[in-house]
Structure 1
């Protein structure tokens, strides 16, 4: 069939388009005219047509072919592309084709009648259509397994008994071991995924780069070249990014190529334009030039099927670029963790209002709501609760219906007005931790209607330090992420301090000329020190004598996600 050569650009005068409308709508689809040559797709279709014919013969009027006929028979045949769905979200099969078919079976079996109506609402067309084309989101949502995590155990905060003071590292290890994700999952477009936490691993849908391509503007030829001067005839045409050269470059010839263009057949090496002298018909250059020079190998960055990013990874802007480059359009992520923030105490008033003698403005709520937002969660403002146990219980009831976790400040100790601890005690889940740290000794933890509650101290500095050290990593795990250990740096001290053994101390600090300077006061009510500081100096549990030049650990606020 002379008018149907294998190369699409050479086909002409057969009266039909190169691609069907459905092929143009499906990225990566092959032309039906590929059947005129060799290829696996052609073999599958040629073998499949007799099978379809046998089905038609056997079932007769019980069968219809969509979209040429209405889907109103017991059996409906439809064309589909299993690659429309990302098989990376299914790990039941090691073979990619099997994973894709299984994923489609799950999607179709989970579709509601309304979903089927939407999927089949395609006008009849003489070209046919692909079932699900343009509706991958609908299918992907139906295909996703139920990944709603189980509730936390009622004893998830219960520390081993016997120690009156709990060391910081022991408390952190307990949280890391006993907390799990509490959020479900959803499938979202990649462009909306910055800051979200992956629920499943992502594999590359496509190699990057997908084809060998030029790293520079110049001329492509078959290398290598030996030492000395060389002259090569120029082959007509050129290769440019997005417009690859369709033919084959003859041996001993060169062809014009631009940065990012696919390396043409018959070539494997590129010479930099500035290293050549060119005429309309020839180029001249000096060797030596090794084979593959100035050419990027196909898949040298990522190979199709490679694991790219693991589950529990929080996506950065750079991650979005990586995933986009390997063909990822949607990702399965954990739903945003909804974190309620509640301040407690009759003495508190909202900022900007009026405060009578004995009253103070609520500094903690604004700070903790901002912490939650910066950590990538969804903050929920629960307001201020009075020192009234019954009213506080109702506020917690409402919070449990709207939040996945709750941060409170104040009322976290064991005094007469520490109603938060008393309420959690009533649930049988209270763990009143006396942390061996300064600031921030009392930490009340428990479950309210199955939702984890972190009762922080009332003093702003203690509340923030406890939030950074304990709430930041704990909330990350509840949100589906890995435990984020803060990155510390060893720097010389620019202060003097004598520290007793028995508890870890966190000092508000900043770096000046590479040394750690600490805030003038260690008082946990001096909230302005948090604004002054750029991080914390962590002093060890053991006794220590700090003098200028002594090595200390500096934890920048950035290592806590702020």
Structure 2
């Protein structure tokens, strides 16, 4: 999405009234890019489209200026109603340089082609221009409609004839159409223009107007991002969250030589999409055909490629951000250090100091942190300076106080000492405007300290993921309650609840569901209304009492995965009330292992983070084992004196092994014979929470 400008070069420092560009894919937007003039913008957009096409992706590029004029304008200007003839005319006649352009003179020349006075107005120059009135009220008899049909429908949209003043868009049109004409010629048949042509090319350029959703853009505006930058960020992210059917419906309008505004008839959809996260596709769990026993790596790759964030954004204070996922990149509000300063207590002077004894007269006063020295230090003199204090003019080097002999009037020390010794340069750690953290980062206490150091007080994060925890089965009872023969205590619910909290999410206890399909459906419906994702345990296979699988199958969204792993195997995945459901095995050991291997990375993506493999280590085995080929095995294990020990029993009924262990040993799918001292892969439990 492109926020255009009709003005001159805006300089190297990002400005509010300038060109801003933002790209998004799959509902996640990059940081907005500042482009100081139209030549740089056109080059950036061309390079971006080329890169996307080389990667095999289609491109929808939106520009926030009108693509056409009211009916009849082209006939007067070019002798044709073809909108592309208008584009080519402007491309041939506009003179554009970073420090100036001829848009006002050109508008006056065009007005001379029309009867009466106008239609263009708003001379923004000090000198008068023939045929170009300064006020719209001075126009008369030109014969053109004041607005296109799109502006009549879009409440608050300004007409294309106004060239200067508040709300003027006419200059952007005149200075934007030449760039569009060149893009069209450059990409040829690979590019189509909406709504002038059928949308059958891999590159489509469309007209946008962010003010269609001005209220929600304003409601999400961060304090440290210009409005123009934020609105292309929001619009790019929003359009990339639409389903293919939604976007197709939005583009499905009659060919219109005046042009139109994308989303003009779909404002409510755009608004809802801004405020809410993108929906997951109901087929995202469906594995390819012919995968009866699915290898672990194939299942993980499939999940990674099909999941996306499901929670919306919010702006919060820095001190509340630990453990949250960034929804937008964070830039340094100031440099760190903000000024050159002393790294030690000592005496500052202009270096270097040559070999031998140095004697420097002392300047009266000192520089301390928070109380910098206000004057200059003459060459050949020194100043008392403390750690963290700004270096005053004339000082670039500091000698440690332990290395000097000082009196009230002078300091003595032995050289040599390099220029810049014991001093920190301004911005040597972080520079103002530098991106210091990227979208998807899970914020750590160290991150908060870094952001605080460069003045970041608020940031855009994902709302905390709400994870519903549900156990199923008539045999289950709450720990501590009375119990009869044939009943067992529910170990999974407190275990999975604690896992979700440990991973940084908001766990929602959905209780226990009986083996009653209707009641289970009611509980799932209630849970889907309260949660973003649901983790269930039990009923994940295909037996008579596996009601979870049956319900998801009846909803048309069941993907029953038979994973080639031990412990584990059955995973029932699907949707209930458009919320993803992970149906884990009922066995506590299998439930915890499957939650760590599959749910942990998946939940991270749903929460707004990046897919992340758990950190593992190669350690010597302290056991022997012979393993058959055909499936991945995870052994409960812990490290003792640098050696990996495994739990005495591999039986999935031995839940005590989960408490005994501090991690898992992962044995690959092939056959293996392990002897003491052989290297094995150890994954600490803590790695799944990273």
Report TM bin, short chain. 0.7 to 0.9
Find the aligned partners of 2:689 and 2:395 in 1 and give their Cα distance: 49
Tell me if structure 1 keeps the 8 A contact 2:325–2:608: yes
Instruction: Give the Å deviation of 1:546.
Output: 1.3
**Match of 1:345?**
473
Deviation digits for residues 459-496 of structure 1, max 9, x if unmatched?
Answer: 00000000000000000000010112011111111111
SS at match of 1:461: helix
SS at match of 1:501: coil
Deviation digits for residues 484-534 of structure 1, max 9, x if unmatched?
Answer: 201111111111111111000000011112111111111111111000001
Structure 1 residue 186 corresponds to structure 2 residue 314? yes
Structure 1 residue 255 corresponds to structure 2 residue 383? yes
Deviation digits for residues 316-354 of structure 1, max 9, x if unmatched?
Answer: 000111111111111100001100000000000001101
**Match of 1:394?**
522
Unaligned runs of 5+ in 2: 1-123, 125-134, 136-209, 235-273
Q: Which runs of 4+ in 1 moved over 2 A?
A: 108-113, 142-149
2:215 to 100, 110, 113: 110
Deviation digits for residues 339-395 of structure 1, max 9, x if unmatched?
Answer: 000000000000110110000000000000000001111100000000000000000
**Match of 2:545?**
417
Find the aligned partners of 1:151 and 1:109 in 2 and give their Cα distance: 23
**Match of 1:441?**
569
Task: Show the 5 A alignment for 1:283-432.
Answer: 283-432=411-560
Instruction: Give the Å deviation of 1:276.
Output: 0.7
SS at match of 1:491: strand
Find the aligned partners of 2:586 and 2:358 in 1 and give their Cα distance: 80
**Match of 2:646?**
518
Kindly tell me: are residues 112 and 319 of structure 1, through their superposed partners in 2, closer, same or farther at Cα, counting changes over 3 Å? closer
SS at match of 1:506: strand
Instruction: Give the Å deviation of 1:205.
Output: 1.1
Find the aligned partners of 1:493 and 1:253 in 2 and give their Cα distance: 65
Tell me if structure 1 keeps the 8 A contact 2:311–2:463: yes
Structure 1 residue 197 corresponds to structure 2 residue 325? yes
**Match of 2:657?**
529
Instruction: Give the Å deviation of 1:163.
Output: 2.1
Aligned-residue RMSD, C-alpha: 2.5
Find the aligned partners of 1:549 and 1:224 in 2 and give their Cα distance: 56
Tell me if structure 1 keeps the 8 A contact 2:629–2:672: yes
**Match of 1:491?**
619
Find the aligned partners of 1:112 and 1:291 in 2 and give their Cα distance: 51
Task: Show the 5 A alignment for 1:16-165.
Answer: 110=215, 145=234, 146=274, 148-165=276-293
SS at match of 1:447: strand
Q: Structure 2-normalised TM-score?
A: 0.62
Instruction: Give the Å deviation of 1:258.
Output: 0.4
Instruction: Give the Å deviation of 1:425.
Output: 0.3
Find the aligned partners of 1:303 and 1:439 in 2 and give their Cα distance: 50
Tell me if structure 1 keeps the 8 A contact 2:552–2:574: yes
**Match of 2:64?**
none
**Match of 1:78?**
none
Instruction: Give the Å deviation of 1:414.
Output: 0.2
Instruction: Give the Å deviation of 1:148.
Output: 3.2
**Match of 2:41?**
none
SS at match of 2:543: coil
Find the aligned partners of 2:313 and 2:214 in 1 and give their Cα distance: 19
Deviation digits for residues 256-292 of structure 1, max 9, x if unmatched?
Answer: 1000000011111111101111111111111111111
Structure 1 residue 462 corresponds to structure 2 residue 621? no
1:177 to 289, 305, 313: 305
Instruction: Give the Å deviation of 1:109.
Output: 5.1
Find the aligned partners of 2:278 and 2:348 in 1 and give their Cα distance: 59
Tell me if structure 1 keeps the 8 A contact 2:279–2:310: yes
Instruction: Give the Å deviation of 1:150.
Output: 1.5
**Match of 2:10?**
none
SS at match of 2:599: helix
Instruction: Give the Å deviation of 1:147.
Output: 6.2
Relative CO higher for 1 or 2, CA cutoff 8 Å, sep ≥ 6?
1
Structure 1 residue 207 corresponds to structure 2 residue 335? yes
Deviation digits for residues 419-438 of structure 1, max 9, x if unmatched?
Answer: 00000001111000000000
Find the aligned partners of 1:491 and 1:227 in 2 and give their Cα distance: 52
**Match of 2:295?**
167
SS at match of 2:315: strand
1:480 to 608, 613, 624: 608
Instruction: Give the Å deviation of 1:449.
Output: 1.2
Unaligned runs of 5+ in 1: 1-50, 52-57, 59-104, 116-131
Kindly tell me: are residues 490 and 136 of structure 1, through their superposed partners in 2, closer, same or farther at Cα, counting changes over 3 Å? closer
Find the aligned partners of 2:583 and 2:430 in 1 and give their Cα distance: 46
Find the aligned partners of 1:435 and 1:544 in 2 and give their Cα distance: 19
Kindly tell me: are residues 268 and 147 of structure 1, through their superposed partners in 2, closer, same or farther at Cα, counting changes over 3 Å? farther
Work out the number of aligned pairs and report it. Answer: 443
Find the aligned partners of 2:520 and 2:417 in 1 and give their Cα distance: 77
Find the aligned partners of 1:513 and 1:340 in 2 and give their Cα distance: 39
1:217 to 333, 341, 345: 345
Find the aligned partners of 1:516 and 1:111 in 2 and give their Cα distance: 54
Instruction: Give the Å deviation of 1:110.
Output: 3.0
2:363 to 218, 222, 235: 235
Tell me if structure 1 keeps the 8 A contact 2:557–2:575: yes
Tell me if structure 1 keeps the 8 A contact 2:350–2:397: yes
Instruction: Give the Å deviation of 1:149.
Output: 2.6
